[in-house]
Every structure is written in C-alpha cells, then in structure tokens.
Amino acid sequence: MYAIAYNMIMKSSVNFDEYLIEKLKDKEFSKEFINASLESYLEDGNAEEFVKSLEFVIKANESISKFAREAGLNRGNLYGIFNNKKKPQFDTIMTILSRLGFKLKVA
C-alpha cells in the first residue's frame, strides 16, 4: 500500500527545476530572483549560484543555444560557464543581463 501511494505522489509531483523555470517566465519574478541571487553572491561569494540563476532565467525564455546566438555569445563558452568549467568574464555577465532585459546598477 505504501509503495503504491509513494508512486502516485511521485508521479504527480512536479520537478523543482521545471517548477522554477515555469515561475521564471514571469518577468517580475525573474527580476526578483536575479536580484536575490546577486545579493546572495555579494554575501557569500558563491558565483556558481549566481551563474546558475542566470541559466534558469535563460531556460525559462528560450534555449541556451538560441540565447547564445542572439546575444552574440559563444554557445560552448556559455555551456562551460553554466557547467562550472569556465569562469565568466564581467562583460559576459553584462551581456547576459542586458539580453535578458536587466540592468546592473549600484545603489
């Protein structure tokens, strides 16, 4: 009985990544998500989490390949950044933010 209930729940539950990507389709939610991620980075220095948040926002809107092409970025380089195999350059982060429709400002 337990196994049947467990399987029913697991089949009906939503994958967290899929849920987040769906929520990130909302521009205002995306903006707050990126801001919270940037604040977290400034507190703990974990750039990987900030970069991952950018990846999720991109995936909510389009494929990584299409994004890279339209932003004028190297697709392989972008995948390397998102897989933590490459460190992003500041200008790459700025290009990503700009292409997503965001601005970085100091307050």
Least Cα distance to 64 among 85, 80, 41, 44 occurs for 80
Rg (CA), the chain: 16
The domain limits of the chain are 16-99
Six-digit token string for 101: 């429709």
pTM score > 0.95 for this model?
no
**Which DSSP string corresponds to 18-79?**
HHHHHHTTSHHHHHHHHHHHHHHHHHH--HHHHHHHHHHHHHHHS-HHHHHHHHT--HHHHH
- The 10s digit of each residue's pLDDT in 1-40 is 444 444 555 555 668 888 889 999 999 999 999 999 999 9
